[in-house]
Chain A
């Protein structure tokens, strides 16, 4: 029975992918390009060489985590889109922790910094969860607003109180120092953040499928009235999923600091949060599928550079493709169940 469900998901997702690629082909044709060339470049740019594969996986790492920020609360019936804000808050928290823990041995310091990032993100999204349960505030709008507030606060801090005036390109925070940065996985150019991402997804899957907590979350998300009737603590569950989801996105922010930049700045705001939402929906809120879909999306993003160099397409081209993919997938949602035969009385 479960095999049939998987086949259905795969078939419908593939159909959506093809539809989106088709329309995207139309857009590039408008610019006088041959769609097939562009498709080839997409594949090559994402997966064609070891270098592009590294780039893909590097892009996929933070997206896996921000996707959990949407996927986990979605299992409890909430639609959270606060990955972007949680990532930013996580990044800032990491920097603040980093500059205050300089004395500790690097592995311990880095661990604490990542914890700080996760905590920051978790609290940020947790606020939305609390507002939803105790005040009835719509969590989609709340997390959206919190995104903008987080970015504004980050800009303020980075341009003022925690600014490193030695940086001339744009306002940036104090650096955490080379010592506290984590390196790349041996023999690759990919930073360790990828491992964090995959582990987080796997742990989340185990949690959801094989633990009592995960079952309780599914009940709350499936029918909150039934959950109330059997005495499940709804508030605690809502809070737990939003905090954990936010922590995942916060961890993505921490990784951006310790593995990529070394400081916080507006470089944290590159749309990983929104890409995460897309991945969560494409993966139908399944944590394992998130890994695969994040890699797919990482590939699309990674090929942006190639598209620009070879065809002169603006980097927004990949955004267009992602948007099309999202729309196609949502439309394809109606196909679920059309092919299912229901058992009789």
Chain B
């Protein structure tokens, strides 16, 4: 049980970052399906930089920067008239994944330094519990981030502007704000966070770089955001939930229950699909969705 909790915290961290980033992007009225590609690029670049410079935190930073770059690319292409942002997302997903594998070949073998963690399990004599309760630094940063995002959206000028752009583009235009500019910044910020989330995968858990590293976390985050009703605090809790679902397989395996391993792998996707079916309705758009989002119309 503790193993599941520890696993959940570990595995939920990338979900948390990507979902917070995507929440911001979607609040501005754009959906970025390319986050999976951004995540993988973040993982690769973070790992590479950490290996080359010896500092995992520098790796995280560069991963974020690259993520922001991908966000910029997404925003620029989407801001051209008549471009479908869902298709652009898929294109970036393919491109990002391909580019990461292309540039990352030399880094598969060597091992890079890992990110630090807090050892909250010091009180236990069981090594399993100790391992399970190692809370990584990014998770803690993520909690702060979620609270910060909620504050930003409710009580800062920029937060209100983002919400306006995403909910009533005419109003934003009337106020003289640039839709393109705001969405670009929001998408870049979202990409930054996704890149950071990706770096977690390679620099902490599983802690290596290879081509099978991500299994759709970037895409699941899209559904996660919908389920969390575009609320940063909900994103935190739902990320934990998804993390628990994903951690279930390996956890059960570690206590000897090895059959149906692949089916447990499917658990988060099935959960997401179920959530989506439950919360959708043919009569009206998804409740609470920013009105300018293409997927909720």
Chain A residues in the interface with B (C-beta under 8 A):
27, 79, 81, 131, 133-138, 140-142, 144-146, 148-149, 152-153, 155-156, 159-160, 274, 277-278, 281, 313-314, 316-320, 322-324, 326-327, 330-331, 333-334, 336-337
Q: A136-B283, A141-B219, A281-B87 are in contact. List 12 more A-B contacts (CB 8 A).
A: A79-B87, A136-B281, A145-B269, A145-B272, A152-B262, A152-B266, A156-B260, A316-B105, A319-B97, A322-B95, A323-B92, A323-B99
CB neighbours (8 Å) of A145 from chain B are 219-220, 223, 269-270, 272-273, 276
For the complex, is B265 an interface residue (Cβ under 8 Å from A)? Answer: yes
- Flag if A331 contacts B94 (CB, 8 Å): no
Q: Specify which of A131, A318, A324 is in contact with B277 (CB 8 Å cutoff).
A: A131
CB neighbours (8 Å) of B281 from chain A are 135-136
- Flag if A320 contacts B95 (CB, 8 Å): yes
- Flag if A327 contacts B91 (CB, 8 Å): yes
- Flag if A149 contacts B266 (CB, 8 Å): yes
Chain B residues in the interface with A (C-beta under 8 A):
33, 37, 73, 77, 80-84, 86-88, 90-92, 94-102, 105, 215-216, 219-220, 222-223, 259-263, 265-266, 269-270, 272-273, 276-277, 280-283, 295-296
How many pairs, one residue from A and one from B, have CB atoms within 8 Å of each other in the complex?
142
**Closest residue of A by beta carbon distance from B100:** A316
Q: Specify which of A152, A160, A320, A330 is in contact with B88 (CB 8 Å cutoff).
A: A330
- Flag if A334 contacts B82 (CB, 8 Å): yes
29 pairs from A and B in contact (CB 8 Å cutoff): A134-B282, A140-B295, A142-B273, A145-B220, A145-B223, A145-B272, A148-B215, A152-B266, A153-B262, A153-B266, A155-B262, A156-B261, A156-B262, A160-B259, A277-B90, A314-B105, A316-B98, A316-B101, A319-B94, A319-B95, A320-B102, A323-B91, A323-B94, A324-B95, A326-B94, A331-B83, A333-B84, A334-B80, A334-B82
- Flag if B272 contacts A136 (CB, 8 Å): no
For the complex of A and B, 7 pairs with smallest distance between CB atoms: A323-B95, A319-B98, A316-B101, A152-B266, A156-B262, A326-B91, A136-B282
CB neighbours (8 Å) of B95 from chain A are 319-320, 322-324, 326-327
**Closest residue of B by beta carbon distance from A137:** B280
State the CA gap A177–B84 with chains docked (Å): 45
Given A319-B102, A320-B102, A334-B82: A146 and B266 within 8 A (CB)? no
CB neighbours (8 Å) of A133 from chain B are 282
Most chain B beta carbons < 10 A, residue from A141, A313, A320, A322: A141
- Flag if B276 contacts A142 (CB, 8 Å): yes
CB neighbours (8 Å) of A324 from chain B are 95
CB neighbours (8 Å) of B296 from chain A are 138
State the CA gap A131–B277 with chains docked (Å): 7
State the CA gap A341–B81 with chains docked (Å): 18
CB neighbours (8 Å) of A323 from chain B are 37, 91-92, 94-99
Chain A: minimal CB distance from B184 (Å): 15
Question: A interface, by DSSP: helix, strand, loop or mixed?
Answer: helix
Q: Specify which of B81, B98, B277 is in contact with A320 (CB 8 Å cutoff).
A: B98
Q: Specify which of B37, B91, B263, B276 is in contact with A137 (CB 8 Å cutoff).
A: B276
CB neighbours (8 Å) of B282 from chain A are 133-136
CB neighbours (8 Å) of A138 from chain B are 276, 280, 295-296
Chain A: minimal CB distance from B261 (Å): 8
- Flag if A137 contacts B77 (CB, 8 Å): no
Chain A: minimal CB distance from B202 (Å): 17
State the CA gap A176–B269 with chains docked (Å): 30
**Closest residue of A by beta carbon distance from B76:** A331
CB neighbours (8 Å) of B269 from chain A are 145, 148-149, 152
State the CA gap A135–B283 with chains docked (Å): 9
Given A133-B282, A155-B262: A331 and B99 within 8 A (CB)? no
Chain A: minimal CB distance from B196 (Å): 22
**Closest residue of A by beta carbon distance from B79:** A334
**Closest residue of B by beta carbon distance from A338:** B81
State the CA gap A146–B84 with chains docked (Å): 22
**Closest residue of A by beta carbon distance from B37:** A323
Chain B: minimal CB distance from A271 (Å): 9
**Closest residue of A by beta carbon distance from B284:** A136
Given A148-B216, A331-B80: A141 and B223 within 8 A (CB)? yes
Given A319-B97, A327-B77: A79 and B102 within 8 A (CB)? no
- Flag if B92 contacts A316 (CB, 8 Å): no
Given A140-B33, A156-B262, A319-B98: A135 and B280 within 8 A (CB)? yes
State the CA gap A281–B102 with chains docked (Å): 24
- Flag if B223 contacts A331 (CB, 8 Å): no
- Flag if B263 contacts A278 (CB, 8 Å): no
State the CA gap A271–B91 with chains docked (Å): 13
Chain A: minimal CB distance from B25 (Å): 15
Chain B: minimal CB distance from A6 (Å): 19
**Closest residue of A by beta carbon distance from B281:** A136
**Closest residue of A by beta carbon distance from B99:** A320
**Closest residue of B by beta carbon distance from A140:** B86
Given A79-B87, A148-B266, A152-B266: A27 and B280 within 8 A (CB)? no
CB neighbours (8 Å) of B94 from chain A are 274, 278, 319, 322-323, 326
State the CA gap A326–B86 with chains docked (Å): 12
- Flag if A316 contacts B273 (CB, 8 Å): no
- Flag if A330 contacts B84 (CB, 8 Å): yes
**Closest residue of B by beta carbon distance from A278:** B94
